[in-house]
Amino acid sequence: MTRADHILLVIIVCVLPFLYARLWAGNEHADYVQIQAGNDEPLTGELSRDRTLHVHGPLGDSVIEVRRGRARFVRSPCRGQVCVQTGWLQASGEIAACLPNRISLTLHGQHPRFDAVNF
């Protein structure tokens, strides 16, 4: 290995822990909860106000709970229950979705960065 190889290796080995620390910690605080049902206009509400929402979807009502700056699916009339198992959402950018019932729950920070997220 030449000197350039060693320098590159040292730089990368130094940068990697920094990347882990930077990208895995310090989640951006979320302020808004956005609920999208089917193809309707997404509904946005404040995360600071505690409440339980019943959102209507093709399979029935999904129950979404907003409490102490967090949000989650409490119940959903789907088989997989992936949305409920996702648990509490806390940080900006986190998403829980019930695809069978076509309802998704997204948290946003002070400045929502994107109009839409597609996969």
Partner 1 sequence: MQIQTTHEDHRIAWLTALAISIHILESAIPSPLPGFKPGLANVITIAVLIQFGWRSAAWVSFLRVVCGSLLLGTFLSPTFILSLGGAVFSMTALWFATRLPGDGFSAIGYGMLAALAHMTGQFTLAWLLFIPNIAVWRLFPILLTAALLFGIVSGIIARAMCNEEISC
| Nearer to partner 1 among residue 57 and residue 93 (C-beta) | 93
State the Cα–Cα distance between residues 26 and 5, nearest whole angstrom: 33
Give the residue carrying structure tokens 């130094």: 14
| Nearer to partner 1 among residue 4 and residue 85 (C-beta) | 4
User: Least distance in Å: CB of 11 to partner 1?
Assistant: 10
Residue 99 in contact with partner 1, rule: CB under 8 A: no
Tokens, residue 32 = 């808004």
State the Cα–Cα distance between residues 47 and 35, nearest whole angstrom: 12
Give the residue carrying structure tokens 């119940």: 75
Residue 69 in contact with partner 1, rule: CB under 8 A: no
User: Least distance in Å: CB of 82 to partner 1?
Assistant: 17
| Nearer to partner 1 among residue 7 and residue 74 (C-beta) | 7
Strands 43-46 and 32-37: antiparallel
Residue 16 in contact with partner 1, rule: CB under 8 A: yes
